[in-house]
Every structure is written in structure tokens, then in C-alpha cells.
Structure 1
Amino acid sequence: MVNEDGSIPLENSRREMFCHLVAVSGLSFVDAYCESSPTPREKNHGAKVNASKMGRRPDCEARIAYLKREAQALADGELKLDRAGIAALQDTVTEILLNGARVAQIHDAGLALQMRQNIVRHSGRQSRTNANLGGVKKRPANDGLTPDRVLSNLRFCECHG
């Protein structure tokens, strides 16, 4: 099922990263394909063909178009955020950080550690923002979610911790 307007992040973290690299960073399909790969890729004919295929997928096309519209609205100052909009934007940033940490874990354990530290800092800021905004429900104190539990869920293989 394709999210027709592209507003929902893709479930496949590699495709989501590919879309962000094309839409926000301005990379070509080939560069974004190679950069989003869990293993180092060379820019050969196969990469060009697969990058083109990925870029033409309906879900990727919709997501890239949506991300470009959002980036342009933000650049033009048209994006007006209310309380719910700020919370949604922070949720998007959290998801992007989590996807980045997943990819970083594959490539570089040191980078993955830095990403996890950024996620913890961002989560703290998000909690403070939600508390300051009021109207956004706070998470119950006894829900069992701790920074250690979040970080333990980010470790994807035994060799990295």
C-alpha cells in the first residue's frame, strides 16, 4: 500500500534515507543509493540501474515529492506550527535520528554511539518542549521507558554491544 501523498515515512529505512538524501540533501539518485546502502557501494552500472529503479518506485516518488514540498515550505517561512505541529515535527526528527543510527550501526560503531547520544539529548528536549507547550499529554512516569531501554533497542548485533 502506497501512501499517496508521501506524508508517512517509509517502513524500509534504506528507502526512507534514500528519499531524504535526494529531497533534502539534493543528492542524485546514484549518490543517494550508494550513500544509503548498508555496505559500501561503487558507482557502477548496476548502482545506476538500481538507483533509477528505487527513485521510480511509487512510494519513493511520493515521499521525495512530499519532503521537497516540506523543505520548500520551511525555507519560504510558510510552515506555521501549532502545538501539535511542533510535536509532530519533533517526532519526525526522532524517527530520522533512529533511522540514521540504524544505518550508522552497520557502518561505524563510533558514529552509531554518537547518534544514540544525540537521540537521548533530542528525547530530553522533546520532553521539555512537550511539558512547556501544555496541552500535549505527558507520558506517565511509570511506563518503564528509560534511556537505557531505548539504547538497548538500538543495538542490532552482538558484536557492537
Structure 2
Amino acid sequence: MPTAWLSLGANIGDPAEQLSEAIRRLDKHANIRVTAQSRVIRTKAWGKTDQPDFANMAAAVETDLLPIDLLHACLDIERDMGRVRHEVWGPRLIDVDLIAYDRVEMDTTKLILPHRFAHERDFVLDPLREISPETADWIIQRQD
């Protein structure tokens, strides 16, 4: 079964609980099984810096969903948890990003794998290195 790596973050409400809830919802999905998760780290906001610090983590999942369908499952979880997209890089209750899916490389209007900016973001790479250092290295190498 394919393995995918997700980056999760939150900075309003109860970020630690929201991350835990997102993990629970992912694992309850009929086609997704959470197989690893990093510790939660606190980081300064990226992009738009005048907002609360973020709680971030990474998770590995096994899934029989295609990459675009996994993305939609993640977006459904965000929406069901109350995420409303007001502004790019703005505060959020929950963010679940698909960072990599096996070693698939794709660039479509809806999904780019590996994630376009993952190699620039320590808040993505540091938790990912904790659960899959080889995946973090692969993402960085794709940008060289």
C-alpha cells in the first residue's frame, strides 16, 4: 500500500488538541491508516508573521487513495473541523498538507508533489525528519 507524508499545523483555538483530532480523523478514514507521527513543535509564523506561533507536526499514512483523493480527504477533514480559508498564510484552526506520496512527482493545477515549498520550511522538514529522514532528504534533492 502506498505511503504518504502529511504536515499538520494550527495556531488558533487549541492547536495541540486540533492536531490530535486531525490525526484521529485521518486514522478513522476507511482508506487511511496513520503509521507514524512526530512530536509537536512550536514555530514562529511563516509568510504572514503577525499572528500566534504554530504547533506543527508530521504524520505518515498508508492509503489506497490516489494522491488527489488523499488531498481531498485532507481538505474534507480541515473543513469538517471548521477551517475557513480567509487569507494565504493566515491563522488557522487546522492545516493538513500532503507533502509527499511514495516517490511520486507530479505538477497539476490541483496538486504538486513533492509539495512545492516543503524544502524551504523547517516547520515541515524538522518533524518529517523525525519520522522519515529519507523522505525529507528526497524532497530536498528534488529541488536541487
Q: Which has the higher strand share?
A: 2
TM-score in terms of structure 1 length: 0.24
Between 1 and 2, higher relative CO (CA 8 Å, sep ≥ 6) is seen in 2
TM-score in terms of structure 2 length: 0.26
